[in-house]
Amino acid sequence: MMMGHKESATIGIKICGLTEEAGFDACVAQKVDWVGFVFFERSPRNVTATQAAALSARHKGGPQRVGLFVHPDDATLDHVLNTVALDVLQLYATPVRALAIRQRYGLPVWLSQPVATQAELPQRCLVDRLLIEPKPPADATRPGGNAQQLDWDLLAGWNPTYPWMLAGGLNPQNVAQAIRQTGAPAVDVSSGVESAPGIKNPDAIAHFVQNARSSKFLS
Ligand SMILES: O=C(O)c1ccccc1N[C@@H]1O[C@H](COP(=O)(O)O)[C@@H](O)[C@H]1O
């Protein structure tokens, strides 16, 4: 079979871990699809609900606002959602808990799916999207946002019919290759577009977006 090129002009782009105005404004200017706010105290990107609301208020419309939570209880979710309007909940949780949260809040839920082997690639998705990312290093203090790249070869021949997103160790230099090699319909980045942990670099965001949008998937 001949190798073809499929345009990936509609690649979905999420920039995660916004903490400050310049980074947020760059995401708006680049018209990314989603911006992520991390509500996890052990992350250098942690924001309070009030901080996220202030950033979000800088621009009406634009990227969807994604709230990232690690095994959140209802009180945490209630507090955040009463303070800042979110469009999507991105969770590190069991599938059962993720479904309960989806039902309670009536918002789309994305679930992290860490993988280390092909056998761990999920055949089905019980929520609205799966984030395929590497397992964190044994000494990691957080389950994601570690600038650790997934072995993209694991995804060879894997063609899920449900929405998914590639995350882990992406940056402006490797995102086009990541899309070409994996066929990811959407990509998520945090560390790879930062000048320091928690501080986004507007130029890196622009390069990431440009390179992602100009990439082509080898079909
Ligand atoms: O970004 C964080 O600090 C974080 C903390 C806890 C869980 C997940 C986190 N980030 C998520 O991980 C991906 C990949 O990060 P990176 O690009 O490798 O740094 C990121 O996009 C977030 O969705």
pLDDT digit string (tens) for 114-128? 999 999 999 999 999
Question: CA 14 to CA 65: how far, in whole Å?
Answer: 10
Cα–ligand 1 centroid distance for 45 (angstroms): 9
Confidence of residue 10 (pLDDT cuts 50, 70, 90): confident
Each as own residue / partner, the long-range contacts of residues 46-50 (CB below 8 Å, 24 or more positions apart, any chain) are: 47/18, 47/19, 49/79, 49/80, 49/82, 49/83, 49/84, 50/83, 50/84
Residue nearest to atom 2 of ligand 1 (CA): 145
Cα–ligand 1 centroid distance for 197 (angstroms): 11
Can you tell me which residue has the tokens 């994996």? 182
Instruction: For each of the domains in the chain, give its residue range(s) and CATH number, in order of start.
Output: 5-218 (3.20.20.70)
Cα–ligand 1 centroid distance for 123 (angstroms): 23
Interface confidence: ipTM more than 0.85: yes
Question: CA 63 to CA 59: how far, in whole Å?
Answer: 9
Instruction: Identify which of 32, 146, 164, 175 to mutate to test ligand 1's pocket (most ligand atoms within 8 A of the CB).
Output: 146
Residue nearest to atom 1 of ligand 1 (CA): 145
Residues touching ligand 1 (Cβ under 6 Å) are 16-17, 36, 38, 40, 43, 45, 68, 70, 92, 133, 142-148, 167-170, 188-192
In contact, 11 and 213? CB cutoff 8 Å: yes
Question: CA 202 to CA 128: how far, in whole Å?
Answer: 29
Residue nearest to atom 16 of ligand 1 (CA): 145
Token pair of 180, please?
Answer: 């070409």
Low-confidence winner among 5-14, 136-145, 173-182, 193-202 (lowest mean pLDDT): 5-14
Q: Which of 7, 16, 6 is nearest to 167 (CA)?
A: 16
Question: CA 192 to CA 118: how far, in whole Å?
Answer: 25
Q: Can you tell me which atom of ligand 1 is nearest the CA of 14?
A: 21
Cα–ligand 1 centroid distance for 4 (angstroms): 32
Q: Can you tell me which atom of ligand 1 is nearest the CA of 143?
A: 7
Cα–ligand 1 centroid distance for 143 (angstroms): 8
pLDDT in tens, 125-167: 999 999 999 999 999 999 999 999 999 999 999 999 999 999 9
Q: Can you give the pLDDT at residue 217?
A: 58
* pLDDT, mean over the chain: 94
